[in-house]
Amino acid sequence: MPTNKILIRSAMAAASALILLGCVPAEVIHSKHNSSAVAQDIIARGWIPNCLPPGASNIEETHDLDVNNGKGSFSFTESDVDHLRAKLTPYERDDRPLKSGTPRSRHEKRGYQFYSFENFDLAINWQNRHARFWLAGI
């Protein structure tokens, strides 16, 4: 009889360990950068689009390593507009939805227009010189 109790306790301990291992919190990383020059490492890793203009500032990004997605934002200067426009592909009105699941209408009401660059979706407010981006998935 004592052997059965030991086996049952061992099995319960193993099952509990497996359940706890499945409940490990996701590895979500958030970073802030003052300029695109400072953000080069995270850009090289693919968490920030490689189309940031030289004057980009207030760069923020958050990414989740477990599900390989991310999002962020940055500001840019008036002199960066042509550089940024040259790198982006505009979305047509009926194009695919944002990979982030964020409704396009929410951003359109705030003056954002939609673009893509490599594996990123971007919403750009040219008047306020502000951009939001989402890793579109790999």
Q: 99 pLDDT exceeds 70?
A: no
Cβ neighbours of 136 (radius 10 Å): 18
Task: Report the share of the chain in percent with pLDDT over 90.
Answer: 37
Q: What is the pLDDT of residue 104?
A: 79
The confidence band for 96, taking pLDDT boundaries of 50, 70 and 90, is low
* pLDDT band, residue 10 (cuts 50/70/90): low
Paired with 120 in beta bridges are: 117, 135
pLDDT digits (tens, 9 = 90+) for 24-78: 556 778 778 788 777 888 888 888 899 999 999 999 998 887 777 889 999 999 9
* Whole-number pLDDT of residue 129: 97
More confident residue, 97 or 113: 113
- State the SS3 of 28-84: EEEEEEEECCCCHHHHHCCCCCCCCCCCCEEEEEEEECCCCEEEEEEECCHHHHHHH
Kindly report the backbone phi and psi dihedral angles of residue 17, in degrees, each rounded to the nearest multiple of 5, phi listed first. -65, -45
* Average pLDDT for the chain: 79
> What does the alpha-carbon distance between residue 66 and residue 29 come to, in Å, rounded to a whole number?
11
More confident site: 89 or 101: 89
Q: Is the pLDDT of residue 21 over 60?
A: no
Q: Pairing between strand 89-90 and 69-75?
A: unpaired
